[in-house]
Structure formats: C-alpha cells, structure tokens
Amino acid sequence: MLGYAEIATHFRRQIADGELNPGDEMLSYAKAAKKFGVNRTTVIRAYDILKSEGLITSRSGVGTVVAARPSVVISGVDRLDRLNRTGRRYGPGEDSTGHRVMRRSVVDVDVCQALNVEPGDEVVIRIRTFRQDGQPTSVGVSVYPPRTVAEVPELGEEEQMERYFGDVYTERTGREVTKGQRTGHARQASQDEIEALQLDVPAHMAVAVLVTSVTFHDKEGAVAYWEDVYAPGARIPIP
C-alpha cells in the first residue's frame, strides 16, 4: 500500500511532466483513495503536501486543481530523468536559447579535477539558457574531455544533440555511463551569467547564485561534467 508521500510524488511527477496542466482537476479524495487503495486521510495528507509546494490549489465550485505553472527549476540531470520517462526534452512552457558550443583550454580547477584533465587541455563546452514561459531560469553548462568527444564528435558541433550523449557513447564504446553525486554550492555570478539570466542589476554589483554540478563516468573515468546556474529566487527541487 502506498503512503501519502508516494502519492504526492506520483502527482508531482505528473505535473512536472505535463501530464497534468494548470487548471486541470485533480482526482477527488474518494476517487484517489480508490485508485491507490488507501483511505481518504492518506490522500488528504498527500494533497496538503502538494498545496504547501504551490503545485495544486482549491477552487470554489470546482474542487482541487493544478495551480498556475510554479517557478520550480530543475537541473540537467532532472531533465535527463524526465526525457527517459516521457521522451520529451522540455516540460510544459519550457524551452532553451543562446546555444553555444566552444572548444576551450580548461582552467577551472574544479572542472580539471572532475574530468581528470590538466589545466590547459582542450575541452568542448556547451552552454544554453533554459527558460520557463519566456523567462530565463538557469544556465546549463556541459563540459566534455577529449576522449568523450573522440567517441561522440557531434558534441563539438553547433547543432543541439538530439539524444543524450551517454546513450550514444555507450552504443559506440560498449561502456555504460553513470552519473555521480550531484552537489551544490553558492558563488558569485559571472557577467555572462548575469546577462544570460537577464538580471537587472547595477554594473559591477555582486550577485549570488546557486550552482549544482554532477560528473558522469564510465569504467575508465570521467566522461562529462554538467553544471546548472540558477537565477536568484529560483526554487529547486532537492531529491
């Protein structure tokens, strides 16, 4: 039997994946209880969680409905999970812009350590700005070392990747790609990030942003480093 937390997770995922959209009616307490084989109190607790998260709301004369699109920003890893579940790259109202692909000598110490490359080694960097309903919410950066690009040269091309790089890499090498532990930290935003996120701040003003990062590996070592930089005030789900 499912608990209230699992029921909340079920509906939270449907909202995130666009299976439930703003204004859609939620199942009544009685119908949800029957669907999940639980009592009414369990459903009420699940719905109360979703209401506290701003995902659903009570509407007079209608019942419980999905709230207007919440300002919850997900990371590249979460988008990958959603792609695997739904086959869709973007969620409802979401898109990306400002796609750039660069070959650069890496100098960031953290990236060098994550990818086990030397400062000055050339890597491929892919950057894009994610938006929700036209509003920038995060900047996504992915960095690939030479050995990954050698197997998936499409990473160095300007076009968007149609598939997750890890699936392509595994098909061509036979080596499975796994993602490591995602971590987060705060730092000062760069001027490029301020502009990409369209932040209206005085020149040279320091802006703090939250950054999450994750490294992908195969059995021989690191194959990619992903980083997400979130707009100030963004709400980020923590698994």
Give the pLDDT confidence of 5-40 residue by residue, as tens digits: 999 999 998 988 888 988 999 999 999 999 999 999
Asked if 197 and 143 sit in the same domain, the reply is yes
CATH number at residue 55: 1.10.10.10
Q: Which amino acid is at 210?
A: L
Asked if 25 and 135 sit in the same domain, the reply is no
Mean pLDDT (whole number) for 51-73: 85
Asked if 129 and 185 sit in the same domain, the reply is yes
β-pair partners for 235: 72
Asked if 53 and 158 sit in the same domain, the reply is no
Q: Mean pLDDT, the chain, as a whole number?
A: 92
Q: What is the DSSP letter of 156?
A: G
End position of a domain, from candidates 43, 66, 89? 66
Which residue segment(s) compose the domain that 20 sits in? 4-66
239 inside domain: no
Q: Looking at the chain, how many residues does it have?
A: 239
CATH number at residue 159: 3.40.1410.10
Is pLDDT at 204 greater than 80 in this prediction?
no
Answer left, alpha or beta for residue 101, where phi above 0 means left and psi between -120 and 50 means alpha.
Answer: beta
What confidence tier does 90 reach under pLDDT thresholds 50, 70, 90?
Answer: confident
**Short-list 39, 57, 40, CA closest to 48:** 57
Angle separating helix axes 4-17 and 76-86, nearest 10 degrees? 90
Mean pLDDT (whole number) for 46-53: 93
- Sign of torsion, CA 17 23 29 35? negative
Is residue 165 a contact partner of residue 153, using CB atoms and an 8 Å limit?
no
Q: Which amino acid is at 173?
A: T
Give the pLDDT confidence of 158-185 residue by residue, as tens digits: 998 989 999 999 999 999 999 999 999 9
What confidence tier does 71 reach under pLDDT thresholds 50, 70, 90?
Answer: low
What confidence tier does 219 reach under pLDDT thresholds 50, 70, 90?
Answer: very high
Instruction: Please tell me whether residue 109 adopts helix, strand or coil conformation.
Output: helix
Query: Which pLDDT score, from 0 to 100, does residue 213 have?
Result: 96
Query: Which pLDDT score, from 0 to 100, does residue 236 have?
Result: 84
